Amino acid sequence: MGKETQTNLTEFILLGLSSDRQTQLLLFVVFLIIYLLTVFGNLLIMLLIHLDSRLHTPMYFFLKNLSLTDLCFSTTIVPKMLLHFLVMKKTISFAGCSIQMFFFLIMGCTESSLLAVMSYDRYAAVCKPLHYSAIMTPRVCIVLAITSWVSGVLVSLVDTTFTLSLPYRGSNVINHYFCEPPALLKLASEETYKAEMAIFAMGILILLGPVSLILFSYGNIISTVIQIQSADGRLKVFSTCGSHFIVVIFFYGSTIFTYMQPNTKKMNKGNKVISVFYSVITSMMNPFIYSLRNKDVKEAFRKVASQDFP
């Protein structure tokens, strides 16, 4: 099926991360552990926030949304990837590829928006503590969360529509481990300029926009923290900001590198390795960086474990 035909393709072959059998088995174990940690970590966060009323605050409301996004994000990609590590025929139908791409983009774009919203929440808490409750009202929090999800759906619709509207009549071999627009565009049998420009424009909206808000928020947070008299207070906030910036670098850095290239035809094999950071690793890291290291969450876990929560 890799030969040139005159009809649209009905399935694709995913080359995955490696063609070596032993390496595939090793990767299966590694990604299975990562996926189990992702599922356990994010489900635990959602459960703790739901059960402990002390965590019913704007910050944890957004963390709950982020955990749901990460759980769905990873589940969209990893189970199919794990299966392909074990089988010889690594195929996915055109319909399955389309569905995977659509939901992957929804979750990825929603996560990008949520990370920006969470940085703004921390900015309001640190820089405007006296007005925090008036700024981050329940209504505002709900609107910001809904906006994040809606933006994810809209950007996904645009990217998926432009990608799938192209004809695919030639090679059906995707040099990737899942269906992602840049990898799929390389197989299109017509000029991809319009699709590339549409994806590039959406990238500016959903990637550079949130990054700008994050830099603004944490820039002001750092400026405010420097003025704190307590050394312990400064260390605590800097430690939190530093861990959050790890997520920002991993997620936005790798995503921008992949989606902000003007010509996807020139993408090399290293791009699929880079995509592991934003499609798999970040979803595992978020619960530990944003939540499980938090004193309030640890206390909630102890209360829930002893069934002594409010």
Note the pLDDT tens digit of each residue in 223-243: 888 876 666 766 766 666 667
pLDDT at 264 over 90: no
How do residues 193-202 score in pLDDT, each as one tens digit?
A: 889 899 999 9
Residue 33 contacts residue 280 (beta carbons within 8 Å): no
pLDDT at 295 over 80: no
Token pair, residue 144, equals 């910001």
* Residue 292 pLDDT: 66
Residue 12 contacts residue 92 (beta carbons within 8 Å): yes
In a domain, 216, yes or no: yes
Q: Of 92, 74, 19, which is closest to residue 277 (Cα–Cα)? A: 74
Q: State CA 228 to chain mean position distance.
A: 33
Count of structural domains, the chain: 1
Tell me which of 2 and 101 has the higher pLDDT: 101
How do residues 156-171 score in pLDDT, each as one tens digit?
A: 999 999 999 988 887 8
In whole angstroms, what is the distance from residue 12 CA to residue 272 CA? 16
Tell me which of 105 and 245 has the higher pLDDT: 105
In a domain, 144, yes or no: yes
In a domain, 285, yes or no: yes
Q: What is the DSSP string of 62-128?
A: HHHHHHHHHHHHHHHHHHHHHHHHH-S--EEEHHHHHHHHHHHHHHHHHHHHHHHHHHHHHHHHHH-
In a domain, 154, yes or no: yes
- CATH code of the domain covering residue 216: 1.20.1070.10
In a domain, 5, yes or no: no
In a domain, 161, yes or no: yes
In a domain, 270, yes or no: yes
In a domain, 134, yes or no: yes
Quote the domain boundaries for residue 223: 11-305
pLDDT at 2 over 60: no
